[in-house]
Amino acid sequence: MLPFGYAIRNLLRDPARLAQAVLGSTLVVLMVMIAGAINDGMVGVLSASGSEKNIILLGAGSEESVLRSEISERAAGIVESSITGLEEVAGMRAVSPEIHQMTFVSLDPDDRKQAFIRGVTPEALLVHQRVVVQSGQYMRPGQIMVGRLAWRRLDLPEEALQPGKTLWVEGAEMEIAGIFSAPGTVMESEIWMDMNDLRSLSLRDQLSCVVVRLGDGEFEDIDLFTKQRLDLELAALRESDYFAKIASFYAPIRGMTWITAMLIATGALLGGLNTLYAAFAPRIREIATLQAIGYGRRSILFSLMQESTIAALCGTLIASFAAIWVLDGIVVSFSIGSFMLRVSPLVALTGLLTGLGLGLVGAIPPGLRCLLPPLPSALRSAG
């Protein structure tokens, strides 16, 4: 085998070409890590938003979207009094009547932004147990609460949505009472307000859904209730199943993210291959000389792969630091919420394997081009 130092010395022969190879590897690995972080973030926020213990009761035929659902307001009281096995906290049953609505909000009446508004009662905190008031206080009638990522969803400065500030909702000026967090869920991009306030502002006389939290009961009991009470026209759906359907809806978008990343990475990869061809081509006579003094083609190819892998791993290291310093913590918005990009162990491993594969495989085509010519003609080569 050729000494490891031989590969290092060859890398340092031409710093400009080394920089090109490292830069190409950095771009490829960084694009793969970005795609992986976006995919993980979107899947993670949708899977974390649904709880196995929460059951959504919505209008029959509207199982695909709560926004299209309409149910009678009396359904909440009937559900609370009729269904057994629901969780209770301090004697209060975990039943949350809610109105979900996409509407316009603004800092002033002339600059409107579309937002997801959830009209709730205080019982919503018994059902959505991940929600915690982070700053300020729980809202009263005439006030709203905003999720900690709502500013990003609305494309507003973060300081504009702080407790004590005001926001126009459906033409009414509402004071922000507090900021809530619900780690890893789409609720962090929502705006919450008193259900009666939202009903009055939107002129609605029906609910969107009733969300209940199971205690020792079973989903089948609630499903049976909806089938028996045909007058209410309800359908029962696990919250986790509801968000799983939404995740499947966004699967093509996640696929397009990967395709876009792969196209950009392929361009960088081809540029890297050209750099390696240019770096190895003048060394045909040198490689033939190594063969003449007794080194086998496999040993020489392995040494060339060492050179390529070292350059690719240097690029991987740079890409990893760039992802941690720049990518980690960025908030990305999509139609129903926002999520933070995280450089998880899986994303980091994906980047490392990409860089390693790039180095090992990328050296083979230009290496074989240098090794395949017959030894006599290679020794006479001008390279």
pLDDT digits (tens, 9 = 90+) for 189-223: 899 999 999 999 888 889 999 999 998 889 998 99
Extract the tokens encoding 101. 């609505």
HSE (CB half, 13 Å, CA atoms) of 36?
Answer: 22
- Coil, helix or strand at residue 106: strand
Contact (Cβ atoms closer than 8 angstroms) between residue 340 and residue 349: no
Tokens 């269904």 map to which residue? 83
For residue 383, pLDDT over 60 is answered with: no
Higher-scoring residue by pLDDT: 159, 281: 159
- Most confident range, picked from 29-43, 120-134, 337-351: 120-134
Query: What do you get for the CA distance between the two ends of the chain, in Å?
Result: 23
Helices of type H across 14-134: 15-49, 74-82, 124-127
**What pairing do the DSSP bridges indicate for beta strands 172-181 and 143-147?**
parallel
Q: How confident is the model at residue 145 (pLDDT cuts 50, 70, 90)?
A: very high
The pLDDT tens digits for 307-323 are 888 988 999 999 999 99
pLDDT, residue 109, reads: 67
For residue 382, pLDDT over 60 is answered with: no
Domain segments of the chain as ranges: 4-48+250-379, 72-232
Q: How confident is the model at residue 379 (pLDDT cuts 50, 70, 90)?
A: low
Q: What is the DSSP letter of 111?
A: S
**What pairing do the DSSP bridges indicate for beta strands 54-59 and 166-169?**
unpaired
